[in-house]
Amino acid sequence: MKSQMEWIELQNQTKLETRAFINGEYCQALDNATFETVNPATGKKLADIARCKQQDVDIAVSHARQAFQAGDWQNQSPASRKAILQRFADLITSHHDTLALLESLDTGKPIAHAYSTDIPGAAASLRWYAEALDKVYGEVAPTEKDVHAFISHQPIGVVAAIVPWNFPLWLACWKLGPALAAGNSVILKPSEKSSLTAIYLGQLANEAGFPAGVFQVITGLGHEAGEALARHYDVNCITFTGSTKVAGQLMVNSGETNLKRVWAEAGGKNANIVFANYSNLDQAAAEAAGGCFYNQGEVCVAATRLLVEESIKDEFIDKVVTAAQRFAPKDPLDPSCCMGTLIDNEHKQKVLDYVTLAQEEGATVICGGDVKGDAAFVAPVILDNVSNEMRVAQEEIFGPVLCVISFKDEEDAIRIANDSQYGLGAAVWTSDLSQAHRVAKQLEAGSVWVNNYNEGDMTVPFGGFKMSGNGRDKSLHAFDKFTETKTTWIRL
């Protein structure tokens, strides 16, 4: 990987593309409006991005529809679609450095993480679905002998992918992979806080060979461009990752218009349960810190509620405090940085307000907090004496704040873990195999980790119970979101 000086040099050489990508071409918003995107590590403006609105969305949707109806993409042979999607993934890999740099500048995340995880993860997602697309079969139903019924899966049509700012390119590719592989036209709407890598994909899509209109990028604000997509009568499906609040709004928008499918990956307030019998508490503490503070805590499955058995609580907190030291905030372009800045100063203030609220509610700050200056840095915060009823234990903070809650026994741990409106992820650390099975089964979460936090792979579904969303990203299950199921009856 490059040195800090080399990253700065690359930044100086890189000309930022800031326009939307519609029908195979970069273009400004029709009214030429723009909005600023800021580097949270410096507080300085990076660029003015095209601010698309309803009229731009209408144009993009009509091109997406035309490409779909013409069969430009869905009717290509599977081998041909596979080759184009693989080329798209390869191009991400060959533009690895620039994409990692843009992601770090736009979000404040450590360049080392963007380089080692986000960008390779994005390419791997596309590649996985490229490889899968000609391995998914239909079914034949066990009907009476004089009829034949088969069940096939057809692309759903025009898909809008609305994504957040915490892993901008990576999460976008979790959606682009299966949606494109299934033969749809896809419009990507990145967060207004992190548009640069999505925009960059436009030129790569052309180079990969997608027909115009099959992949487009609409930049803009949530309540303008995002809502225009969500209310559009010719969009068949919204695939969303973001807050639970906006997920709900999208469902209302769909209900008030054309009942488009709405798939939402939303918030989390995840429990990480540590039993006293676990044989390697140092490892559990290191992963408790990593699970909560990775990506500045701006992770939907962050391990924000640490449930520790009463008898080992103080000893365990000491270990977590030690483990958290490697997350001391640094310049994100420093390759040794493990904790960058939050997405912006407004979000930083929200996170710090939660720390103040926690203290008012009776929690104790063990370490961390504000780092003064223009950059949106917050040092990892560990809160002791939290009870699960407190707002800091119930609401998603989406920053580097760990809430420590003690429990008496297994039943108590499960009760506390499930006492949440969310149900995205949960973990249990135990050396008792039967306990691992008992607890894992009862946890209300889409992913449960035993003796690890946040293992993941494209081969497994990811998503949540309860208000953490519906549907699942990743794995073959994701195809279900982007296809319609058709039954065809033939009388013999």
Catalytic residues: 265
Closest CA to 482 of 52, 145, 154, 254: 154
Stretch that binds ligand NAD, among 8-16, 106-114, 225-233, 288-296 (CB under 6 A): 225-233
CA distances from 96 to 88, 93, 121 (A): 12, 5, 11
93 sits near ligand NAD (criterion: CB under 6 A): no
Stretch 382-411: interaction string toward ligand NAD, x if CB under 6 A? --------------x-x-------------
Q: Which of 155, 290, 469, 471 binds ligand NAD (CB under 6 A)?
A: 469
296 sits near ligand NAD (criterion: CB under 6 A): no
Backbone angles phi, psi at 38, to 5 degrees: -115, 145
CA distances from 111 to 117, 173, 301, 337 (A): 10, 19, 21, 8
Report d(CA 380, CA 357) in Å as an integer: 16
Q: Which of 35, 165, 263, 327 binds ligand NAD (CB under 6 A)?
A: 165
Number of H helices, E strands in the chain: 16, 21
Q: Which of residues 304-343 bind ligand NAD (CB under 6 A)?
A: none
38 sits near ligand NAD (criterion: CB under 6 A): no
22 sits near ligand NAD (criterion: CB under 6 A): no
Stretch that binds ligand NAD, among 22-30, 146-154, 373-381, 463-471 (CB under 6 A): 463-471
Q: Which of 18, 39, 107, 166 binds ligand NAD (CB under 6 A)?
A: 166
Give the interface size with ligand NAD as a residue count (CB under 6 A).
Answer: 31
56 sits near ligand NAD (criterion: CB under 6 A): no
Q: Which is nearer to ligand NAD, 316 or 479 (by Cβ)? A: 479
291 sits near ligand NAD (criterion: CB under 6 A): no
Smallest separation, CB 488 to ligand NAD (Å):
35
Report d(CA 62, CA 176) in Å as an integer: 19
Q: Which of 178, 226, 291, 340 binds ligand NAD (CB under 6 A)?
A: 226
Backbone angles phi, psi at 251, to 5 degrees: -65, -40
* CB contact set of 136 (below 8 Å; sequence gap of 6+): 153, 476, 479
Q: Which is nearer to ligand NAD, 110 or 446 (by Cβ)? A: 446
Stretch 125-164: interaction string toward ligand NAD, x if CB under 6 A? -------------------------------------xxx
Report d(CA 311, CA 492) in Å as an integer: 71
Q: Please state, as a whole number, how many other Cβ atoms lie within 10 Å of the Cβ of residue 279.
A: 10
Length of the chain: 492
Tokens of 131: 């490889």
Q: Which is nearer to ligand NAD, 192 or 287 (by Cβ)? A: 192
Give one DSSP letter per residue of 283-339, joined into a string. Answer: HHHHHHHHHHHGGGG--TT---EEEEEGGGHHHHHHHHHHHHGGG----TTSTT-S-
Note the residues at the interface with ligand NAD (CB under 6 A): 162-166, 171, 189, 191-192, 222-223, 226-227, 230, 241-243, 246, 249-250, 265-268, 300, 396, 398, 424, 464, 468-469
